[in-house]
Chain A
Amino acid sequence: MQPVGPPARSAALPHDPRNVIELRHVAKHYPDGTIGLEEATMNIRRGEFVFLVGSTGSGKSTIMKLLSKQLEPSHGTIMVAGRDLADITRKRVPYYRRNLGVVFQDFKLLPNRTVYDNVAYALSATGAGRKEIRAKVPDILRLTGLSTKLHQYPDQLSGGEQQRVSIARAFVNHPPLVLADEPTGNLDPQTSIGIMQLLYRINRAGTTVLVATHDHHMVDEMRRRVIEVDRGRIVRDEAAGMYAAGEQTTDEFGAMMRDVEVGRVRERLDHLQGASDDELLWGDRPEADR
Chain B
Amino acid sequence: MNFSFFMREVWRSLSRNAVPSFAAMASVLVTMLVLGAFIPVMQMANAAADQTRDKVFVSVFLKNDATKTDVARVGKTLEGAPNVKSVQFISKGQALKEQKKVDPEAFKVLGDSNPLPDAFRITPKDPDEIPAIMAALAPTNSAGAQAPIDPKIDEVKNARETPKLLGVMNAIRLGTGLLAFLLIGSSILLVGNTIRLSLFARRREVEVMKLVGATDWFIRWPFVLEGLIVGLLGGVMAILVLLVAKTALLGPLETVPVVNGLSTLSFALLAGVLMIASVAVSALGSGLSLRRFLKV
Contact = CB atoms under 8 A, between A and B. Distances in A.
Interface of A: 68, 70, 90-91, 93-95, 97-98, 102, 104, 108-113, 121-122, 124-126, 129-130, 169
B204 interface: yes
B164 interface: no
Interface of B: 2, 5, 12, 16-17, 204-205, 207-216, 218, 295-296
A121 B211 contact: no
Given A112-B16, A124-B5, A104 B211 contact: yes
Nearest to B207: A108
A112 B209 contact: no
A34 B213 CA distance: 28
Contacts of B213: 94-95, 97-98, 122, 125-126
B228 to A, nearest CB: 21
B11 to A, nearest CB: 13
Contacts of B208: 108-110
Contacts of B212: 97, 102, 121-122, 125, 169
B218 to A, nearest CB: 6
Contacts of B211: 68, 70, 97, 102, 104, 108
A108 B215 CA distance: 17
Contacts of A95: 213, 215
Contacts, number: 54
B10 to A, nearest CB: 13
Contact of B215 (A94, A111, A113): A94
A125 B214 contact: yes
A110 B5 contact: no
A70 B211 CA distance: 8
Nearest to A169: B212
Nearest to A102: B211
A94 B16 contact: no
Contacts of A97: 210-213
Given A70-B296, A110-B209, A124-B5, A94 B204 contact: no
A110 B5 CA distance: 17
A91 B207 CA distance: 15
Given A94-B214, A125-B214, A125-B218, A111 B204 contact: yes
A111 B202 CA distance: 10
Contacts of B210: 93-94, 97
